[in-house]
Amino acid sequence: MAEITCIEDLRVLAKKRVPRMFYDYVDGGSWTESTYRANETDFQHIRFRQRVACDITRRTTETTMLGQPVAMPVAIAPTGLTGMQHADGEMLAARAAKTFGIPFTLSTMSICSIEAVSAATGLHPFWFQVYVTRDRSFTADLIERARRAHCSALMVTMDLQVFGQRHKDIRNGLSVPPKPTLGNILNIATKLRWCIGMLGTKNRQFGNILGHAKGVDSISSLVDWTKEQFDPTLSWQDVEWIKKRWGGKLIVKGILDPEDARRAVEAGADAIVVSNHGGRQLDGAPSSITALPAIVDAVGRQVEVHLDGGIRSGQDVLKATALGAKGTFIGRAMLYGLGAQGEQGVARALDIIYNELDLSMAFCGKTDIREVDRNILFKENRISDF
């Protein structure tokens, strides 16, 4: 096997090892995928200001996110169907995050349940992302389950009231478990590692939903429930309700506009995540990194502003930090590692990002990530665009 040196190497390996419908679920966006691509490519327009003759002997990337000490300003983002990239995927990713010293965020639409992840990490606190469903009693139950699992922060995602049209998922007939079509059978048969892993686990459904939501006790009822439950009436009053019911740290994800950022603060957010859902919702929306500075200017002194979308390297983390983000989230970079090599692959992805962050910070003459600001960026950057 070739040496793994970057996140792209993990992506290539994951594509070989993960069934097509689940790989495409990760590596794709809505409609033309222009926003999905911009999330990544817009980072490339930002240049660093290289400095020399600075004492860079002692460097640290340690900081805090929501008051929690972290080894670097990176957290694992909530990603649906993680357990379809690799058997027990959420449990493996959570363990890798715990070992590295960064937060892990579990999605409502995970394959492994809140309780399974909590047990797999030895009750180590993690963050939980909740979708507001039409059945508010189910949402309330999720919040209580997160509390019992010792989750230290709750995240509410605001930009999935309706689904963006994702052509790859439609063409592949995405489903959990995969439908036994000839095409699926032939493709999955070539993914021996994946098949062996799935045969060895009982986690093959949406563990937070099946057996917990009213009337959902089978695969067919689960499909119907999922289609019906995302709520187009979601409002800031719902965020206030969640904050009151939860009582702890609340993160609001899916913010691209400064006015929405201010509304999130008013509703009780302790942190907001600048995010366009990985380019999977409104195609043509701005990339996360271009939306970041205006939101930092609007609310950055009141709450922590984090960034999600397009992070493929430690250099991306450093650029987001320079533009005001107090933390960043990785979704696809983690999933590529997971699909490629399981828990070891997630750990490798984190090591890659850490090394790139540390070295790039050194080249910019900085030794402490907490002291990084826009001064590390080259003056001819189109700062007005970021």
Active site residues: 277
Residue type present at position 375:
N
Whose tokens are 């040496």? That residue is 3
What single-letter DSSP state applies at residue 56?
-
HSE-up of 129 (CA within 13 Å, CB side)? 25
Using only C-alpha atoms, the chain has a radius of gyration, in whole angstroms, of 20
Q: Which residues pair with 306 in a beta bridge?
A: 273, 327
For 186: left if phi > 0, alpha if psi spans -120 to 50, otherwise beta; the answer is alpha
Tell me the C-alpha distance between 160 and 254, whole Å: 9
Cβ–Cβ < 8 Å for 331, 338: no
CA geometry: angle 178, 89, 64, nearest 5 deg: 140
Q: Which residues pair with 16 in a beta bridge?
A: none
Burial of 207 (0-12, 13-18, 19+ CB in 10 A): buried
Helix 258-266 / helix 288-299 crossing angle, nearest 10 deg:
50
Burial of 212 (0-12, 13-18, 19+ CB in 10 A): middle
- Residue 329, classed as helix, strand or coil, is strand
What single-letter DSSP state applies at residue 233?
T
Pick from 324, 380, 308: nearest CA to 39: 308
CA geometry: angle 302, 306, 312, nearest 5 deg: 165
